[in-house]
A and B are shown apart, each in its own frame.
Chain A
Amino acid sequence: SQTIHQWPATLVQPVGSPLSLECTVEGTSNPNLYWYRQAAGRGLQLLFYSVGIGQISSEVPQNLSASRPQDRQFILSSKKLLLSDSGFYLCAWSVRAGVSPLHFGNGTRLTVT
């Protein structure tokens, strides 16, 4: 069966520090991968998605970047965090983009202080 791992679960980082959040999927090949951010009490904002290794599409210009160094690994990064980067970050995968369900990780709660 397929599983998705996302870590860390919580993170507190000072303004200006770097960020690296990792997500890995097991039990499937060539998944579509997504990073979403959820502000408190709000819906999900799509940040990045990837349909293959090295292929990254950015939805919102911002202080973050994403990379897919391996088929089932998706990394969210920042060189210098801003206060506004605080939020709940969710990684997800799907078999076929847009027409099949998304499977989410348990999320990372990021607080930038």
Chain B
Amino acid sequence: SQQGEEDPQALSIQEGENATMNCSYKTSINNLQWYRQNSGRGLVHLILIRSNEREKHSGRLRVTLDTSKKSSSLLITASRAADTASYFCATDREYGNKLVFGAGTILRVKS
């Protein structure tokens, strides 16, 4: 069964706007990760946030984690057409040894 569920399923924005994607999960975790997938390709790791962290930045990416609400958000600022891709959150179960992925958010950035 899927652990993470992304919201929205699809998002269409104009270049330069910010994009926010959300992820909810059900059980305790050690960390939460975000990945990006361009059409027909493998996934690329973006950022990992540990359960004791609340916010993490990497370039134009900002990830927040609220363990009390079992949710995370990925913010992409000043989006570019090249950001068009699917974005997935993935969680490991506490003391688990594998990642479980959500269904993903399809982001389209229009130029």
Q: Do A and B come from one complex?
A: yes
Binding site for B on A (CB under 8 A): 6, 32, 34, 36, 42-44, 46, 49, 51, 59, 88, 90, 92, 97-107, 109
A102 to B104, CA, bound (A): 16
Spell out B's residues near A (CB within 8 Å).
2, 30-31, 33, 35, 40-45, 48, 88, 90, 92-93, 96-104
List B contacts of A90 (CB < 8 A).
42-43
Q: Is the CB of B42 within 8 A of A101?
A: no
Choose one: A36, A44, A49, A101; the contact of B97 (CB below 8 Å).
Answer: A49
Q: A9's closest neighbor in chain B, by CB?
A: B40
Query: Among A44, A88, A104, A107, which residue has the most Cβ atoms of chain B within 10 A?
Result: A44
Whether A104 contacts B96 by the Cβ 8 Å rule is no
Instruction: Report A-chain residues with C-beta under 8 Å of the C-beta of B102.
Output: 43
Most buried by B among A43, A46, A88, A104: A43
On whether the beta carbons of B42 and A105 are closer than 8 Å, the reply is yes
Among the listed A43, A49, A88, A105, which residue makes an inter-chain contact with B98, where contact means beta carbons less than 8 Å apart?
Answer: A49
Q: Which residues of A contact B45 (CB under 8 A)?
A: 101-103
Interface contact B43-A104, CB-CB below 8 Å: yes
Contact partner, A98, options B41, B96, B101, B104, Cβ 8 Å: B96
Q: Looking at B30, B35, B98, B100, which has the most chain A CB atoms within 10 Å of its CB? A: B98
8 sampled A-B residue pairs with Cβ under 8 A: A6-B42, A36-B101, A42-B104, A51-B97, A92-B43, A97-B98, A100-B48, A107-B42
Tell me whether B40 and A43 are in contact (CB under 8 A).
no
* Complex: A88 Cα to B40 Cα, angstroms: 8
Q: A43 touching B101 by the CB < 8 A rule?
A: yes
B48:A107 contact, CB within 8 angstroms: no
Assess whether B42 is in contact with A97, with CB atoms less than 8 Å apart. Answer: no
Which residues does chain B contribute within 8 Å of A92, judged by CB atoms?
Answer: 42-43
In the complex, the answer to whether A46 meets B104 with C-beta atoms within 8 Å is: no
